[in-house]
């Protein structure tokens, strides 16, 4: 039998449904793979062996009884450690939550369980999803399976690395400024940020509430669509959840086609600061789309240049408030309680000890931006920029069906290179941030390797709000054409671990 860890999620589910393999065998194969390679990759913060095998066993039992199984029943998945899981530790990559075992499940967690998905464990991430390299995890960095000395992207580096290292065929990430797409780009995997409000945030530990969005990570466009369909949809526990049917993403992924579509290249994303190999692969993708029958035009979104400054005001501001609850009173770390110190002192000592440098930096920045006297100049202005960016998108989508750009300006950089240079680190999300500010949908999928370093390059596809299906329609067409050209999936070129 073929190596179960190399199968796609769709293939795995089909084999389980057909009785060719049991869910327990599939789960065990992945747990074995994790045991084999994760000491090197460090994609997981917690592996839930018992929970995974029990979930797999339940799927096998349901199948034995003749129950109808869902399209992902028995498929293993790596869950970003920012979603709460009842009875399973959830740390958000932070020391302040070390050992915390949530008493409830996130809506995404619950839906995955209901779909018969087998949750293998919780993946590594930048602390509270703040970062683009997973170096900000309190539990040590994750390596990029293409080159373990390089970053796997962030904040969802663990989820992306788990896919690229064949530790799981599916993963869940969250994308606040690019934390699904940028890791997808630098690991040669597929990552989708759905339209804001289409995947419930209930139980997703908040970084920036108006930007955070959970989404699927996979090795193929179809797998991402299947996972997207499993987790998306209205949730009455999330006030910002869209109460409308989810677009048919699976149908779109099965029928990739760009013929007759108008596709816009974002003029502002390219040129100085972009790695030559990244631009080379991107231009190749543009040509490919033309060959496939799309009309490709250049579109200007003049305010995108202001997206990053706006993001680095809005996200830290919301974060400074969202992270205030980590105060040593009700759960998590408590430092310095010697019976004499006050609650206030213990709070300050705990937060000082429990948060890493990037989290502190953003809390301070957000506190500053919201302070009276500065609010209008910073937070208020940033919210106006948000309006301008949404208008740019509206104008663009009046002319084209989707926009495209490189996902990230460079390929994976070496671990440590930008660790204490926040401004350089922030550049990694230059192309992904506008969609978080406007709330629309976007995908990153592999478009080849940069010739100068042999590392994966991501192509970003951006669709209007609630037109997530367009991502899959275009993505599936591009994926099929590249597969044709390359003769095998890109990840087959990754070095063996």
Partner 1 sequence: MSYEDALSSFDPVMGLEVHVELGTATKMFCGCATEFGGEPNSQVCPTCLGLPGALPVVNRTAVESAIRIGLALNCNIAEWCRFARKNYFYPDMPKNFQTSQYDEPIAFDGYLDVEVQGKTYRVGIERAHMEEDTGKSTHVGGATGRIHGADYSLLDYNRCGIPLIEIVTKPIEGAGELAPEIAKAYVAELRDLIKALGVSEARMELGQMRCDANLSLRPHGQEKFGTRSETKNVNSLRSVERAIRFEIQRHATVLTDGGTIVQETRHFHEDDGTTTAGRVKEEAEDYRYFPEPDLVPVAPSRDWVEELRGTLPEVPSVRRKRLQAEWGISDFDMQSLVNAGAVDAIVDTVAAGADSDAARKWWLGELARSANERGVEVTALPITPAQVARVAALVKAGELNDKLARQVIEGVLAGEGDPDQVVEKRGLKVVSDEGALGAAIDQAIAAQADAVAKIQAGNLGPVGALIGAVMKTTRGQADAARVRELILEKLGVS
Partner 2 sequence: MPGITREEVAHLARLSRLELGAEELDHLATQLDDIIGAVARVGEVAADDIPPTSHPLPLTNVMRPDEIRPGLTPEQALSGAPAAEDQRFRVPRILGEEQ
Pairing of strands 190-193, 456-463: unpaired
- Round to whole Å and give the CA distance between 320 and 274: 32
What is the Cα–Cα distance from 40 to 167, expressed in whole angstroms? 12
Residue number with CB closer to partner 1 (83 or 274): 83
Site for partner 2 in 101-140 (CB under 8 A): 101-104
**Which positions from 363 through 382 interact with partner 2, judged by CB under 8 A?**
363-365, 367-368, 371, 377-378, 380-382
Contact residue for partner 2 among 361, 480, 481, 497 (CB under 8 A): 361
Q: Which does 196 bind (CB under 5 to 8 A by kind): partner 1, partner 2, none?
A: partner 2
In the complex, minimum distance from the CB of residue 234 to partner 2, in angstroms, rounded to a whole number: 10
Backbone angles phi, psi at 443, to 5 degrees: -135, 150
Contacts of 440 (CB under 8 A, 6+ apart): 195, 196, 393, 462, 463, 464, 465, 467
Say if CB 233 and CB 266 are below 8 A apart: no
Which member of 131, 152, 203, 316 binds partner 1 (CB under 8 A)?
203
Site for partner 1 contains 202 (CB under 8 A): yes
Stretch that binds partner 1, among 282-290, 366-374, 429-437, 468-476 (CB under 8 A): 366-374
Cis status of the peptide bond prior to 355, with omega within 30 of 0: no
Consecutive H or E run containing 199: none
Question: Which tokens hold the place of 152?
Answer: 């796997």
Return the one option of partner 2, partner 1, none that residue 312 interacts with (CB less than 5 to 8 A, by type): partner 2
The mark string for 52-91 relative to partner 1 (x by CB under 8 A, - otherwise) is: -------------------------------xx-----x-
For 217-251, the DSSP string reads: EESSHHHHHHHHHHHBS--TT-TT---SPPP-HHH
Phi/psi of residue 2, nearest 5 degrees: -60, 160
210 sits near partner 1 (criterion: CB under 8 A) = yes
> Which region, judged by CB under 8 A, interacts with partner 2, from 15-23, 219-227, 356-364, 451-459?
356-364
The question of whether 80 is a catalytic residue gets the answer yes
In the set 155, 208, 320, 444, the catalytic residue is: 155
- The binding track of 419-458 with respect to partner 2, each residue x by CB under 8 A or -, is ---xx-------------xxx-------------------
Q: Is 263 helix (H, G, I), strand (E, B) or coil?
A: strand
Cα separation of 44 and 119, whole Å?
A: 12
Choose, by CB under 8 A, the member of 64, 276, 297, 343 that binds partner 2: 343
- Report the SS3 class of residue 184: helix
> Residue 325 binds what, of partner 2, partner 1, none (CB under 5 to 8 Å, by partner type)?
partner 1
- Whether 384 is a known active-site residue: answer no
8 Å CB contact between 462 and 405: yes
What is the DSSP annotation of 300-318? --GGGGGHHHHHHHHHHHH
- The answer to whether 179 is a known catalytic residue is yes
Q: How many residues does the chain have?
A: 497
Rule CB under 8 A: is residue 92 a binding residue for partner 1?
yes
From 40, 290, 325, 384, residue interacting with partner 1 (rule: CB under 8 A): 325
Name the binder of 306 from partner 1, partner 2, none, CB < 5-8 A by kind.
partner 2
Secondary structure class of 445 (helix, strand, coil): strand
Binding mask 454-483 for partner 2 (x = CB under 8 A): -----------x------------------
What is the spatial distance between Cα 211 and Cα 155, in angstroms, rounded to a whole number?
Answer: 14
Active site residues: 80, 155, 179
Query: Which residues of the chain form contacts with partner 1 (CB under 8 A)?
Result: 83-84, 90, 92, 97, 100, 102-104, 106, 201-206, 208-210, 236-240, 317-318, 320-321, 324-327, 329-331, 339, 343-344, 347, 367, 370-372, 375, 379
């Amino acid at each position: 039998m073929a190596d179960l860890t190399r199968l796609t999620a769709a293939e795995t589910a089909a084999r389980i449904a057909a009785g060719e393999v049991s869910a327990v065998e599939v789960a065990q194969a992945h747990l074995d793979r994790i045991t084999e390679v994760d000491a090197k990759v460090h994609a997981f913060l917690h592996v839930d062996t018992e929970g995974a095998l029990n979930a797999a066993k339940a799927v096998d039992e349901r199948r034995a009884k003749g129950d109808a199984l869902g399209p992902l029943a028995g498929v293993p998945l790596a869950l970003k450690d920012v979603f709460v899981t009842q009875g399973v530790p959830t740390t958000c990559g932070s020391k302040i939550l070390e050992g915390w075992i949530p008493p409830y499940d996130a809506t995404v967690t619950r839906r995955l369980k209901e779909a018969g998905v087998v949750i293998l464990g919780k993946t590594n991430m930048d602390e509270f999803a703040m970062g683009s390299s997973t170096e900000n995890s309190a539990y040590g960095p994750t390596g990029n399976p293409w080159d373990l000395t390089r970053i796997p992207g962030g904040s969802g580096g663990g989820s992306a690395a788990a896919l690229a290292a064949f530790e799981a065929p599916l993963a869940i990430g969250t994308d606040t400024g690019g934390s699904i797409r940028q890791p997808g780009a630098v690991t040669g995997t597929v990552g989708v940020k759905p339209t804001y409000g289409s995947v419930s945030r209930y139980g997703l530990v908040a970084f920036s509430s108006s930007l955070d969005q959970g989404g699927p990570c996979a090795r193929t466009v179809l797998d991402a669509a299947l996972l997207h369909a499993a987790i998306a949809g209205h949730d009455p526990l999330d006030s910002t959840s869209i109460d409308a049917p989810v677009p048919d993403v699976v149908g779109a992924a099965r029928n990739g086609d760009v013929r007759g579509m108008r596709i816009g290249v974002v003029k502002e994303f390219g040129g100085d600061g972009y790695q030559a190999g990244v631009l080379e692969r991107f231009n190749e993708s543009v040509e490919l789309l033309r060959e496939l029958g799309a009309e490709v035009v250049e579109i200007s979104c003049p305010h995108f240049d202001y997206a990053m400054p706006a993001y680095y005001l809005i996200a830290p501001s919301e974060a400074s408030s969202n992270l205030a609850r980590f105060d040593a009173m009700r759960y998590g770390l408590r430092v310095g309680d010697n019976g004499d110190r006050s609650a206030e002192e213990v709070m300050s000592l705990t937060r000082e000890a429990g948060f890493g440098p990037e989290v502190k930096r953003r809390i301070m920045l957000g506190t500053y931006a919201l302070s009276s006297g500065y609010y209008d100049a910073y937070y208020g202005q940033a919210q106006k920029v948000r309006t301008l960016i949404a208008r740019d998108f509206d104008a663009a989508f009046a002319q084209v069906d989707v926009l495209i750009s490189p996902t990230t300006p460079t390929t994976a950089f070496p671990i440590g290179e930008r660790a204490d240079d926040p401004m350089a680190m922030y550049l990694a999300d230059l192309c992904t941030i506008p969609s978080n500010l406007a709330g629309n949908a976007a995908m990153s999928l592999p478009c080849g390797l940069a010739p100068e370093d042999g590392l994966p390059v991501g192509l970003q596809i951006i669709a209007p709000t609630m037109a997530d299906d367009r991502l899959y329609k275009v993505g599936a067409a591009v994926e099929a054409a590249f597969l044709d050209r390359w003769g095998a999936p890109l990840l087959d070129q990754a070095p063996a671990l």
